[in-house]
A and B are shown apart, each in its own frame.
Chain A
């Protein structure tokens, strides 16, 4: 039973006169209950657009088609009022920069309690406080009482992100969308936040959607990885390492992050840059940067076959589960 089902979702952004940027091209995706899924790709691949369309937070200059079903209701056709019962309640979201997502003029107390009041209609003050403190403790904040009374600027980056997670979880959503949740944080804090997300996912049986550019980070948290390129899903695989992937782009993404356990003195490079999303081409979009390119690549656009959009995929190593 899938919690989110995306069918033929396309999103275009209007750019000035008559120009369209095709950010998502007919994306199909189903996410099951309690599943952890990572969406990986370079910037400009459509991963953030996909995340925003899950809660219908797309920019005003966007045109979308297709359906995004959450509990069998199409998010894209909802009114703002109906959306309120989805955002935060069914799906919580955390963003890259916690400092920018928290409102600097309100205390943590006000920001958590506001969310609970708005969605769960609880007005009793002591009950609200109890819930807020419990949430903060659940996200691993040690001095929950002090943090509860603080303002965002008085907290460290890691604490701010924990508060964001507490707010996102305040209405006990079944889905948690994390858009680059650790990019703005220090490495040691990043590791802590990933551990926290792992624990929360297990304890609350969350469907977790992690958006990241870092494949290694994705694998620390998720089994299933969706790789996006030029607005399309190019690979959708359960994987635990490079050998379990099939698309040349996925393999390249693994290789460009140096492995500290290897003694290599050179960097693997994906040549060139992400293609122009204004064009629609009848060929493989990765063709010009691919090292495994063959004669079919320039003649037709590859379809998804067995979770891979490639004419010449690598053979996946068997995954033992």
Chain B
């Protein structure tokens, strides 16, 4: 359903005085494919370009080179349907919710915009959305700062689901959460994948999450793919030395 061909992204910092220009190659030619209804994990350390790829897939960032094919046509966001199809879950649960809006209004905004619902119909939509991510409906009258990190991340997921996407990009969605809450959110992603048939691109630095979660994996380093394949193959028979290093760095791994 999603095909990425030779994706490149370079960030330039122009200095105000003088001619100095610094270029940072964030993504240096990356190609991969996400099959319908699967979870793809993109793993890498800081500076590997994984967030940039995610932002390009969601249309927040525009790639410099390469093609992104989504459902057999170039990825564009020119209609409401196309915009709704690809949604994004942020790492920072606090920053991704407008602090001045109540949870109910945050969820209502995309439903109202995409499905032209108002009044009672809109409210029912909001409630259904909150329930689908395991939140109680009382929460709709609260503000983001009144919620815990886990609850906020569920709200962010609910807002994305409100648009009924077929592809969900999740950028380190659990790394700012407590260990016990991480597992809850990961189970939620699994449920969405299985029950709602949503394909997921899951960005993370934590290899431990990937084994139970994803079907396929990409290991990134310095904007390039070090290794890619099915999770089983990469975990059991890693080919690249870097993947081996990553695996042996996992705390509590007896392999080292």
A269 to B182, CA, bound (A): 9
Instruction: Find out whether the CB atom of B180 lies under 8 angstroms from the CB atom of A256.
Output: yes
Asked if residues B251 and A258 are in contact (CB atoms below 8 Å), the reply is no
Neighbouring A residues of B252 by C-beta, 8 Å: 215-217, 219-220, 257, 259
Given contacts A186-B205, A269-B184, A270-B183, contact A216 B212 (CB under 8 A): no
Cβ–Cβ contact A186 & B45, under 8 A: yes
Pick out which of these stretches binds chain B: A10-18, A63-71, A187-195, A299-307. Answer: A187-195
The interface of chain B, by Cβ under 8 A from chain A, is 45-46, 148, 150, 178-184, 186-187, 190, 205-209, 211-213, 235, 245-255
- Assess the B212–A267 pair: CB atoms within 8 A: yes
Q: Tell me the A residues contacting B by CB distance below 8 Å.
A: 42-44, 157, 186-191, 194, 213-217, 219-220, 252-253, 256-262, 264-271, 273-274
List 27 A–B pairs whose Cβ atoms lie within 8 Å, in order of A's numbering.
A42-B180, A186-B205, A187-B45, A187-B206, A191-B249, A194-B251, A213-B179, A216-B251, A216-B252, A217-B251, A220-B251, A253-B179, A256-B179, A256-B180, A256-B182, A257-B179, A258-B211, A260-B247, A260-B250, A261-B254, A265-B212, A266-B190, A266-B212, A267-B186, A267-B187, A273-B148, A273-B181
Chain A residues near B206 (CB-CB < 8 A): 187
Given A187-B205, A266-B190: A260 and B235 within 8 A (CB)?
Answer: yes
Q: A187-B45, A261-B254 are in contact. List 15 more A-B contacts (CB 8 A).
A: A42-B180, A43-B178, A188-B45, A189-B45, A191-B249, A194-B251, A213-B178, A213-B179, A257-B208, A260-B207, A260-B250, A262-B211, A267-B213, A269-B184, A273-B180
Q: Contact: A260 with B190, CB < 8 Å?
A: no
Q: Nearest 4 A-B pairs (CB), nearest first?
A: A216-B252, A191-B249, A217-B251, A186-B45
Cβ of A214: which chain B residues have Cβ within 8 Å of it? 179, 251
Within 8 Å by CB of A267, from B178, B190, B207, B255, lies: B190
Q: How far is the CB of A218 from chain B (nearest CB, A)?
A: 8
- Chain B neighbourhood of A157, CB < 8 A: 46
A-side contacts of B247, CB under 8 Å: 260
Residue pair A42, B250 in contact (C-beta under 8 Å): no
Q: Give A212's nearest chain B residue, CB to CB.
A: B251
CB distance from A288 to the nearest CB of B (A): 13
B253 touches A260 (CB 8 A): yes
Q: Which residue of B lies closest to A192 (CB)?
A: B249
Shortest C-beta distance, B91 to chain A (Å), equals 14
CB distance from B192 to the nearest CB of A (A): 13
Q: How far is the CA of A308 from the CA of B123 in the complex (A)?
A: 48
Q: In the assembled complex, which residues on chain B have CB atoms less than 8 Å from the CB atom of A274? A: 178
Q: Whole-angstrom distance from the CB of B183 to the nearest CB of chain A?
A: 4
Which one of A189, A258, A270 contacts B212 once the chains associate, using CB atoms below 8 Å?
A258
Whole-angstrom CA separation of A96 from B207 in the bound complex? 21
Pick the contact of A258: B181, B208, B249, B254 (CB < 8 A): B208
A273 to B136, CA, bound (A): 14
Q: For residue B46, which residue of chain A has the nearest CB?
A: A186
Closest CB-CB distance, B249 to chain A, in whole Å?
4
Q: How far is the CA of A219 from the CA of B212 in the complex (A)?
A: 22
Contacts of A264 in B (CB 8 A): 212
Contact B184 A188 (CB under 8 A): no
> Which residues from B are CB-within-8-Å of A265?
190, 212
- Shortest CB-to-CB span from B41 to chain A, Å, is 12
Q: How far is the CA of A266 from the CA of B213 in the complex (A)?
A: 7
Nearest to B209 among chain A residues (CB) is A258
- Give the Cβ gap from B253 to chain A, nearest Cβ, in Å: 7
Say whether A187 contacts B250, CB under 8 Å: yes
A313 to B111, CA, bound (A): 48
Quick one: closest A residue to B254, CB to CB?
Answer: A261
- Among residues of B, the one whose C-beta sits closest to the C-beta of A256 is B183
Neighbour of B179 across the interface among A42, A189, A220, A266, CB < 8 A = A42
CA distance A271 to B134 in the complex (A): 12
- A253 contact set on B, CB distance < 8 A: 179-180
Q: A258-B211, A266-B187 are known contacts. Are A190 and B249 too (CB-CB below 8 A)?
A: yes
Nearest CB of A to B245, in Å: 6
- Bound-state CA distance A188–B252 (Å) is 13
